[in-house]
Amino acid sequence: MNELDTLVERAQEAFAAVATPADLENAKAQFLGKSGRITELMKGMAALSVDEKKSRGAAINVAKQAIEAALGARRQALADAELAIQLKSESLDVTLPGRVRAGGGLHPVSRTLERIEQIFGTMGFDVADGPEIESDWHSFTSLNNPPNHPARSMQDTFYVDLQGEDGTPYNLRPHTSPMQVRYAHQHVKKHQALIDAGQSMPEIRVIAPGRTYRVDSDATHSPMFHQCEGLWLGENVSFKDLKVVFTDFCRTFFESDDLVLRFRPSFFPFTEPSAEVDIQFQSGPLAGRWLEVAGSGQVHPNVVRNMGLDPERYIGFAFGMGPDRLTMLRYGVNDLRQFFDGDIRFLRQFQ
Ligand code: DAH
Determine the Cα–Cα distance for residues 200 and 328; give it in Å rounded to an integer. Answer: 41
CA angle 54-55-61, nearest 5°?
90
User: What number does the ligand 1 atom closest to the CA of 317 have?
Assistant: 13
Judge whether 101 lies within some domain. Answer: no
Cα of 267 to ligand 1 centre, how many Å?
9
Average pLDDT (340-348) is: 93
Whether the CB of 177 sits within 6 Å of ligand 1? yes
Rg (CA), the chain: 45
Q: Are residues 131 and 32 in the same domain?
A: no
Closest residue by CA, ligand 1 atom 4:
175
Beta strand segments in the chain, E: 126-127, 133-135, 158-163, 169-172, 204-213, 224-234, 260-268, 271-280, 291-299, 315-321
Total domain count, the chain: 2
Which of 89, 121, 147 terminates a domain? The answer is 89
Average pLDDT (3-31) is: 92
pLDDT surpassing 70 at residue 32: yes
Q: Tell me the DSSP string of 187-219.
A: HHHHTHHHHHTTPPPPPEEEEEEEEEE-S--BT
Cα of 341 to ligand 1 centre, how many Å?
27
pLDDT of residue 12: 93
Which of 89, 120, 146 terminates a domain? The answer is 89
Q: Are residues 249 and 183 in the same domain?
A: yes
For the segment 71-126, what is each residue's pLDDT rounded down to a tens digit? 999 999 999 999 999 888 887 888 888 888 878 899 999 999 999 999 999 999 99
Alpha carbon 343 to chain centroid, angstroms: 12
pLDDT surpassing 90 at residue 211: yes
Pocket test for ligand 1, best of 270, 306, 325 (most atoms within 8 A of CB): 270
Q: Among residues 162, 86, 101, which one has the least CA distance to residue 131?
A: 162
Q: Are residues 337 and 215 in the same domain?
A: yes
pLDDT of residue 59: 92
Q: Are residues 82 and 113 in the same domain?
A: no
Decide: 151 and 144 in contact? Cβ < 8 Å. Answer: no
For the segment 266-300, what is each residue's pLDDT rounded down to a tens digit? 999 999 999 999 999 999 999 999 999 999 999 99
Whether the CB of 139 sits within 6 Å of ligand 1? no
Average pLDDT (133-151) is: 93
Determine the Cα–Cα distance for residues 287 and 290; give it in Å rounded to an integer. Answer: 9
Judge whether 213 lies within some domain. Answer: yes
Judge whether 17 lies within some domain. Answer: yes
Q: Are residues 152 and 251 in the same domain?
A: yes
Residue 245: give its domain's CATH number: 3.30.930.10
Q: Are residues 165 and 273 in the same domain?
A: yes
Q: What is the mean pLDDT of the chain?
A: 94
Judge whether 100 lies within some domain. Answer: no
Judge whether 99 lies within some domain. Answer: no
pLDDT of residue 218: 86
Closest residue by CA, ligand 1 atom 3:
175
Whether the CB of 268 sits within 6 Å of ligand 1? yes
pLDDT of residue 80: 93
Helix, strand, coil distribution of the chain in percent, nearest 5: 45, 20, 35
Whether the CB of 320 sits within 6 Å of ligand 1? yes
Judge whether 103 lies within some domain. Answer: no
Q: Are residues 116 and 251 in the same domain?
A: yes
Judge whether 122 lies within some domain. Answer: yes
Determine the Cα–Cα distance for residues 163 and 349; give it in Å rounded to an integer. Answer: 43
Q: What proportion of the chain, given as a percentage, has pLDDT over 70?
A: 100
Judge whether 98 lies within some domain. Answer: no
pLDDT surpassing 90 at residue 190: yes
Q: Are residues 192 and 73 in the same domain?
A: no
Closest residue by CA, ligand 1 atom 13:
296
Q: Are residues 82 and 138 in the same domain?
A: no
Residue 95, CA distances (Å) to 84, 87, 92, 99 in order = 21, 17, 9, 12
**Confidence category of residue 13, pLDDT binned at 50, 70, 90:** very high
Pocket test for ligand 1, best of 232, 268, 304 (most atoms within 8 A of CB): 268
Q: Which residues span the domain enclosing 37?
A: 3-89
Pocket test for ligand 1, best of 293, 296, 300 (most atoms within 8 A of CB): 296
Structure letter (DSSP) for residue 306: H
Which of 39, 57, 89 terminates a domain? The answer is 89
**Confidence category of residue 228, pLDDT binned at 50, 70, 90:** very high
Q: Are residues 318 and 173 in the same domain?
A: yes
Q: Are residues 308 and 237 in the same domain?
A: yes
Whether the CB of 175 sits within 6 Å of ligand 1? yes
Determine the Cα–Cα distance for residues 224 and 63; give it in Å rounded to an integer. Answer: 94
pLDDT of residue 1: 62
User: What number does the ligand 1 atom closest to the CA of 154 have?
Assistant: 14
Determine the Cα–Cα distance for residues 59 and 309; give it in Å rounded to an integer. Answer: 123
User: How many Cα atoms are found within 13 Å in the side-chain-facing hemisphere of 4?
Assistant: 17
Decide: 108 and 350 in contact? Cβ < 8 Å. Answer: yes
Q: What proportion of the chain, given as a percentage, has pLDDT over 90?
A: 79
Write down the H helix ranges in 33-132. Answer: 37-43, 50-89, 108-122
Cα of 177 to ligand 1 centre, how many Å?
6
Q: Strand 271-280 relative to strand 260-268: parallel, antiparallel, unpaired?
A: antiparallel
Determine the Cα–Cα distance for residues 241 and 236; give it in Å rounded to an integer. Answer: 10
Cα of 320 to ligand 1 centre, how many Å?
4
User: Whole-prediction pTM value?
Assistant: 0.73
Decide: 342 and 105 in contact? Cβ < 8 Å. Answer: no
pLDDT of residue 165: 82
Q: Are residues 152 and 49 in the same domain?
A: no
